[in-house]
Amino acid sequence: MSKKDLQAEELIKLSGEEEIFNLESLITDGADARIPIEINFPTKEGTKKAAAMIRPLTNVEWNNATRIARKNFTTTNEIELLKVALYTKDGEPFPKELVEKLPNGVVIKLVQMLGEISGVEVTEENMKLAKEMLSGF
């Protein structure tokens, strides 16, 4: 059996187990995706469910947000990420001044969701490590 035949056979086996997608389509679809989310938002009257949308960030967008936070000590990496990725439930960009007023716990939860849809594992340990690395700059 030739190398080409073996590759074709392997693809058939893989495709039977799980669906394989065209990478180019995933990239172009992902850049325009708006994913509806629900988040628990703390209020004086207790926790309320809130709706919004987020979109996956590209590597360049994620790194640019980090760079902005590194240069500007009045913001955080998480806030800068959400300024790019957070949308209202109607699909409009979320006002930047409101992103800055989000409670810390909500910010952390949103960034975890953002990481998941952007293919980044965002854990408390990774976030702490990133903050420690940025504090040296």
- pLDDT, tens only, 24-34: 666 666 667 89
The DSSP output letter for 123 is -
Mean pLDDT of 9-32: 64
> What are the φ/ψ torsions at residue 55 (nearest 5 degrees)?
-130, 150
Predicted local distance difference test score (pLDDT) of residue 3:
72
pTM of the full predicted structure? 0.71
DSSP state of 136: T
CA–CA distance, 126 with 73 (Å, rounded to integer): 20
